[in-house]
Structure 1
Amino acid sequence: MTATVRTAPPPPPPAPYGLDGIVVPEVTMPAPPHTPNPHVRAAHAAAQEWLDRFGLCRSAASRRILRRARLPLTAALFYPGASPPVLARLTPWLYWICIMDDEFDDGPDGRDPARCAATLAALLDVLGGRPGRTPAERALADIRLRVQEGRSPGWSRAFRRDVEGWFWTYYEDTADRVAHRYPRLDAYPRQRAHAFGAYVMLSLAEPAAGVDLPEAVRRLPALRDLRHAAAEYLGLHNDFWSVGKEREAGVYHNAVILIGHHERVGLQESVDSCAGMLDARARRMVAAQLELPGQLDAVGVSGVTRAEALTCAAAYWHVVRGAHDYYQRVDRYTRADPRLKDELAPPHGLFTGQ
């Protein structure tokens, strides 16, 4: 007779902090997990060298915030197939997105529309090719050139449009804040996709996967639908996981907070509704993925170009699945930073005191 060994069930996955007493619903994720990029250490070392070279971490608080975000893990999960040099070129963009988000959320540039517009105008000039004058501008000029290395003019133009669209959302959010305007729920998911930098992250998935699509393929409705649904999923998913941080900071550009405001419902109902919005985007992604091969055939795309279009679609899925797995592993979203409330200065000082 053998003894029965009873094992305890595995602990539940971490939930977003700030949702005490809330039953956090399971979010639909059709894509299977994948192995993270094995070159993450080299990419992390390259990103640290880039931060130090341009002086983008000016305080212990800034270094702690970036450490808690575990951005090399983001790169490894989002871009699992990128070669070591490509991953090293992409990872600084994820740092830049995180730093920009913190600066405009918590610093003075996100509170004064005129100041915000002036800061963005300077950065947009650099994006257009003007040499950088400040450390922040020189850092942007550097990663702009490096990410475009070996890319087609078409991809570079599309990437610039994505970055410009992301930048301008900081001004839109600032204008909302000073006018005490809450964005409409029907318009918010696309706005949030841009504001989160999701389109930038998806554009970076193309060099990560080693593809560079012709403009006619990039414009195919099925691929565009997949991209839009993926971008909205990424933005809403970030809202889902950052609601605790943003409620504490008084930020209301968050789907959960907006649902509660517009629908006059409690936090549990708002969280459930946000999960439903994520499920809808996941279903849109699946539908677009199924339509893509037939649409490629219908317009006569074949051979290497057809294979690259399907690879691009898979790369978008990698970003979305990577985000799904990332948030559960990162202190920035699963536990509060008790020291942040005592630090009144902008977290990184990227645009102040230069």
Structure 2
Amino acid sequence: MPFSSAGCNPGLEKTKEAAWKWADHHGVELSPVARKKMIRTRPELWISLIFPSASQQHLDLFCQWLFWAFLVDDEFDDGPAGRDPRMCGSAITRLVDVLDGAVPHSAMELALEELRNRTYRGRSAAWVRQFRRDTVAWLWTYYAEAVERAAGQVPSRAEFVKHRRDSVAMQPFLDLHEITAGIDLTDAARSLPAYIALRDAVTDHSGLCNDICSFEKEAAMGYEHNAVRLIQRDRGCTLQEAVDEAAIQLARITERVRRAERALAEEMDAAKIEGAERVALERCVRDYRGLVRGDFDYHARAERYTRPDLVEPEERSELSRFFAA
């Protein structure tokens, strides 16, 4: 990993406490099995590693988003909604409607409404559109996977790379980064090819890193939407060979980050971007490096990935009740 670590946000323990209090306050009462999984997942660690200098207020908000996102992820990956396209599509439609202002009904929907209101406060219409687009794109990837599972289909490696860019859910957190950085990128800045390439590289790194670390758990559950598994299938190689190839690809993605950084500097010069807009983009370049390193370090430390313990099939659906009206 060529990028240096900025360490961990000192507010980690406070944000952990705040996340559990927030969940209890909004009726997201985790079963013993779900609670154990969340403790091992350590959302507060990931947030504290990728946002080492965020204020406590922002750290708490971002961690609560991640707490909520992990509950969604476990439900659609492990629960019945992930294997029933109609159930999956209905649940996602309700969540998107709430994100757009509909009246919430379930605990998860109520929690989403509260997060949305706190997050949108003071943000520009352009930023809200970006965050909404990225969040909705992430949610609908679960439906795509449910349909493919039901149809007995497996994506190609190229198809999966594009899919994973949304399904890893990193894009919304790159948007949230602007809150703690005190910036609000213009549409022109967001449209620079090198900035788009930089975001894609950061997101691709997170997705592949996650796939390498979670392959064992997902393979045991028959989950095929994993880069390591797809490499193994496409090449007819051993698991170790697939993991080794994925690691090589991960290193190549860090080079893509560097190339995008250089290209972005050239594009800012070409577009004569100066002042606050240039400062904001340069802040993204600096912080995205730390974000990549923080995400990498998290996967090496969280027990969700370092010590995967499989749950029994009947336990995998316990999160389903959070989506019930």
Contact residue 233 and residue 281 of structure 1 kept, 8 A:
yes
SS in 1 for 2:157: coil
Structure 1 spans left out of the alignment, 5+ residues: 1-28
2:207 corresponds to 1:235? yes
- The AA in structure 2 aligned to 1:289 is E
**Alignment-derived partner of residue 349 in structure 1:** 320
User: Residue by residue, what CA displacement relative to the aligned partner does 1:126-156 show, whole Å, maximum 9, x if unpaired?
Assistant: 1111121221111111111112222111111
CA displacement at 1:158 relative to structure 2: 0.2
Counterparts of 1:166 and 1:255, CA distance in 2: 17
Counterparts of 1:321 and 1:179, CA distance in 2: 37
**Alignment-derived partner of residue 74 in structure 1:** 46
Choose the corresponding residue for 1:118, options 79, 90, 96. 90
Contact residue 240 and residue 256 of structure 1 kept, 8 A:
yes
Structure 2 vs 1, CA of residues 314 and 347 (structure 1 numbering), >3 Å: closer, same or farther?
farther
Structure 2 spans left out of the alignment, 5+ residues: none
Choose the corresponding residue for 1:177, options 116, 132, 149. 149
CA displacement at 1:347 relative to structure 2: 4.1
**Alignment-derived partner of residue 144 in structure 1:** 116
2:235 corresponds to 1:263? yes
2:194 corresponds to 1:222? yes
Contact residue 56 and residue 348 of structure 1 kept, 8 A:
no
CA displacement at 1:201 relative to structure 2: 2.1
- Identity rate of aligned residues, in percent? 37
2:306 corresponds to 1:334? yes
- The AA in structure 2 aligned to 1:43 is T
User: Residue by residue, what CA displacement relative to the aligned partner does 1:10-54 show, whole Å, maximum 9, x if unpaired?
Assistant: xxxxxxxxxxxxxxxxxxx22111121112222222211211012
- The AA in structure 2 aligned to 1:348 is L
TM-score by length of 1: 0.88
Task: Flag the structure with larger Rg.
Answer: 1
**Alignment-derived partner of residue 158 in structure 1:** 130
Contact residue 193 and residue 236 of structure 1 kept, 8 A:
no
CA displacement at 1:219 relative to structure 2: 1.1
Structure 2 vs 1, CA of residues 57 and 343 (structure 1 numbering), >3 Å: closer, same or farther?
farther
CA displacement at 1:160 relative to structure 2: 0.2
User: Residue by residue, what CA displacement relative to the aligned partner does 1:286-327 show, whole Å, maximum 9, x if unpaired?
Assistant: 101112222112112112221111101222222211111111
Choose the corresponding residue for 2:260, options 279, 283, 288. 288
Aligned CA-pair RMSD = 1.5
Counterparts of 2:108 and 2:152, CA distance in 1: 30
After superposition, where does 1:1-354 map in structure 2 within 5 Å?
29-337=1-309, 340-341=311-312, 343-354=314-325
Counterparts of 1:151 and 1:94, CA distance in 2: 20
Structure 2 vs 1, CA of residues 334 and 345 (structure 1 numbering), >3 Å: closer, same or farther?
closer
CA displacement at 1:350 relative to structure 2: 4.7
Q: Which has the higher helix share?
A: 2
TM-score by length of 2: 0.96
Contact residue 57 and residue 348 of structure 1 kept, 8 A:
no
